[in-house]
Structure 1
Amino acid sequence: MKSSRLVSILLLLQTRGRMTAAQLAEELEVSVRTVYRDVEALGAAGVPLYGDAGHAGGYRLLDGYRTRLTGLTADEAEALFLAGAPGPAAELGLGAVLAAAQLKVRAALPPELRAHADRVGGRFHLDAPGWYADAEEAPFLPEVAHAVWHSRVLDVRYRRWAEPTDVERRLEPYGLVLKAGRWYVVAGPGPRTFRVDQILRLTATDEEFTRPDGFDLAAWWTEYQRGFPARLYRAEALVRLAPGVTLPRAAVVRAQEGGWTLARVQVESVERAHGEFLRMGTSVEVLEPPELRARLAGTVAELAERYGDSAPAAAP
């Protein structure tokens, strides 16, 4: 709708400063001609908006001009208050800031939209972590957030899953991401992703770094998620599956006698696959890799020895 688009132009110029007609058109997904017409409409309505010609030109608002948030729709007001997750904000040390900001926005809303926002706060609560995951303690999260905001280098001792597990790293933190209740810092060089709760020691430095031009945290994270399965499942196992048994990430090679199937399965590591296949009991037989088959055989032999006697061992 045109009225919504006019408010968007005002807010864009208010927050970003001078913008060209082409930039506004790209942001609003309309034609440049439409932007010209909208700018004329704003001027006719008395909005102090000026256009500068030339290479460095564009549209801008008169210095000091501010617009109130009367252009919010009911859905936008609800989304604004629903997006304000108090738990993550508190973890970042911004709980009071978030509350103050919401109070100011609420005061600027018309009465009917204020009622919508209040209803959202009373009927929806965001709780990101899963049921069966313990809360991850991330004691260095405020320091990491400070370094992200001020573009400061961090020297950290970090615990990873591969050997050697504890390593020293120099991080240029570009941004923080909260995924399923767990905080990640995206940092250069690379960039690469690090779990904040796995930082064992942190030293904040006064060294300032420069973020790469055009780095988009949201876009980078989306692409990172797309490649996650390929990074996670780096190994492969050849297995025999009992009749009717299927596995995710499994590609059937061929059918065998008795309804069994031969399949190749992507696995994260020998250690992780050992536990996953062990839980399946006699429904699966691992043929390759040899180290995984040998490890399973050793565990089964140990269990057979432990449970071989009919009576349990007497308590001491």
Structure 2
Amino acid sequence: MKSERLIALLFTLQARRSATAGQLAAILEVSERTILRDVAALQAAGVPLYSEPGRGGGIRLLDGWRTRLDGLTGPEAAALFVSGVPAALADLGLAGAATSAQAKLLATLPAGARDRAQELGERFHLDAPGWFHRDEPLPHLADVAAAVFDRQRLRISYERGRQTVQRTVDPLGLVLKAGIWYAVAAIPTAAAAIGAATKATGGVTEKAAGHLRTYRVARIRSVDRTGERFERPTGFVLAEYWATAAAEFDRSILHATIRVRLPARVLPDLARHLGRNTVEELGQVGAPDADGWVEAELLVETLHIAQHQLIALAPDVEVLDPPQLRAALAETGRRLAARNSAHPDGG
């Protein structure tokens, strides 16, 4: 929006005191002609800007003049300059707002704090995607984000398996998880039911969650506004819902039960090898025997996955049940020993 761009331009000049039209155009990601028009608009509004010709010249702000708009706090400054955050804001169509906020920050912070904020951007990076994750096309993310902000009911087409289904939803929020965007939406007309269930317990209960849906934004094929506005459910907190839903999903994929024997000293490392949720569902653990080993019952996703997870604990693990997992782990051990016992040159 032009008003945001004018503020960004004003704060940029307040921080730099002088810059060429080309430099300002690069910072604000607009054309030089747009910069010149914006400078004229600020001058007409009474901002003491002037152009200084020649080498080393540029657009300058009168020395000593400062805007009376409030600046940002120190924590806000740090958050804005952590590398990686602007990319997420750009996905949401908020790149202009982020640029404006960063310019405002640099203009209002004292010199020392300003340098510190810029250093943060050089030293900290938010790498939201996973190591092997490729960026997904997100042609409708900005539209969904706008509907979230404006409380606009949407009609979407959504790819589910090999089918494309039509849904009417009230978009309540967006979540960026491991580089993947998800939209959390309510079933229309369910706001009262969600609010009542949430108010009664102080959190998003299973009953309230039953009126909510999560959509992977990359699978949304079309977005249309219905022209209707919706009311957000009373007491609904996106972060709380996501934490509850994510934990429930993680537990729901644990389908198999195994019994193992392992040293008690290994127990603190189980979460790293088997996953946090497996450890949270850890069954009864007996007292250590004379060798310091204990028996434990664990919930795992599948026996095949468990086989690969338990290899990381070798040799400090013994499978007691089921027999097929014990046999598979033993066979893996035999093959690994055979592969590594002979010298590569045959010696």
Matched, 1:237 2:258: yes
Which residue of the partner structure matches residue 285 of structure 2?
A: 253
| Aligned partner letter, 2:266 | V
Task: Call closer, same or farther: CA 1:283–1:270 in 2, change over 3 Å.
Answer: same
Task: Call closer, same or farther: CA 1:133–1:122 in 2, change over 3 Å.
Answer: same
Match runs of 1:191-210 below 5 Å:
191-196=212-217, 199-200=218-219, 202-207=221-226, 210=229
Give the 3-state SS of the residue equivalent to 2:89 in structure 1. helix
| Aligned partner letter, 1:145 | A
| Partners of 2:263 and 2:305 in 1: CA distance | 21
Contact 1:106–1:114 (8 Å) recurs in 2: no
1:244-266, Cα deviation, whole Å (9 max, x unpaired): 32134234431345322111234
2:144 to 147, 156, 171: 147
Contact 1:155–1:203 (8 Å) recurs in 2: yes
Which residue of the partner structure matches residue 47 of structure 1?
A: none
1:8-34, Cα deviation, whole Å (9 max, x unpaired): xxxxxxxxxxxxxxxxxxxxxxxxxxx
Contact 1:176–1:186 (8 Å) recurs in 2: yes
| Aligned partner letter, 2:240 | T
* RCO higher in structure (CA 8 A, sep ≥6): 2
| Aligned partner letter, 1:214 | P
Give the 3-state SS of the residue equivalent to 2:233 in structure 1. coil
Which residue of the partner structure matches residue 69 of structure 1?
A: 69
| Partners of 1:171 and 1:241 in 2: CA distance | 51
Matched, 1:89 2:83: no
Contact 1:77–1:116 (8 Å) recurs in 2: no
Instruction: Report the number of matched residues.
Output: 230
1:282 to 296, 315, 329: 315
Contact 1:278–1:296 (8 Å) recurs in 2: no
Deviation, 1:280, is: 1.8
Tell me the C-alpha RMSD between the 2 structures. 4.1
Contact 2:182–2:215 (8 Å) recurs in 1: yes
Task: Call closer, same or farther: CA 1:272–1:211 in 2, change over 3 Å.
Answer: farther
Deviation, 1:118, is: 3.2
Deviation, 1:294, is: 1.8
Matched, 1:124 2:120: yes
| Aligned partner letter, 1:237 | I
| Partners of 2:293 and 2:286 in 1: CA distance | 9
Task: Call closer, same or farther: CA 1:306–1:273 in 2, change over 3 Å.
Answer: closer
Deviation, 1:155, is: 1.5
Task: Call closer, same or farther: CA 1:79–1:245 in 2, change over 3 Å.
Answer: closer
| Aligned partner letter, 2:259 | L
Deviation, 1:132, is: 6.7
| Partners of 2:259 and 2:119 in 1: CA distance | 50
Which residue of the partner structure matches residue 222 of structure 1?
A: 240
Normalising by structure 2, we get a TM-score of 0.51
Which residue of the partner structure matches residue 232 of structure 2?
A: 213
Give the 3-state SS of the residue equivalent to 1:276 in structure 2. helix
Give the 3-state SS of the residue equivalent to 2:144 in structure 1. helix
Give ranges in structure 1 of 5+ residues lacking alignment.
Answer: 1-66, 159-164
Normalising by structure 1, we get a TM-score of 0.56
Task: Call closer, same or farther: CA 1:281–1:195 in 2, change over 3 Å.
Answer: farther
| Partners of 1:95 and 1:202 in 2: CA distance | 23
1:18-65, Cα deviation, whole Å (9 max, x unpaired): xxxxxxxxxxxxxxxxxxxxxxxxxxxxxxxxxxxxxxxxxxxxxxxx
Which residue of the partner structure matches residue 175 of structure 2?
A: 177
Contact 2:156–2:220 (8 Å) recurs in 1: no
1:188-224, Cα deviation, whole Å (9 max, x unpaired): 343233444xx4562334545654533667x232243
Deviation, 1:143, is: 0.6
Matched, 1:263 2:296: yes
Contact 1:183–1:195 (8 Å) recurs in 2: yes
Give the 3-state SS of the residue equivalent to 1:192 in structure 2. strand
Contact 1:77–1:117 (8 Å) recurs in 2: no
Name the % identity.
Answer: 24
| Aligned partner letter, 1:78 | A
Task: Call closer, same or farther: CA 1:270–1:195 in 2, change over 3 Å.
Answer: farther
Deviation, 1:124, is: 0.8
Match runs of 1:157-172 below 5 Å:
157-158=159-160, 168=164, 170=167, 172=169
Contact 1:153–1:209 (8 Å) recurs in 2: no
Which residue of the partner structure matches residue 324 of structure 2?
A: 294
Which residue of the partner structure matches residue 43 of structure 1?
A: none
| Aligned partner letter, 2:146 | W
Task: Call closer, same or farther: CA 1:96–1:303 in 2, change over 3 Å.
Answer: same
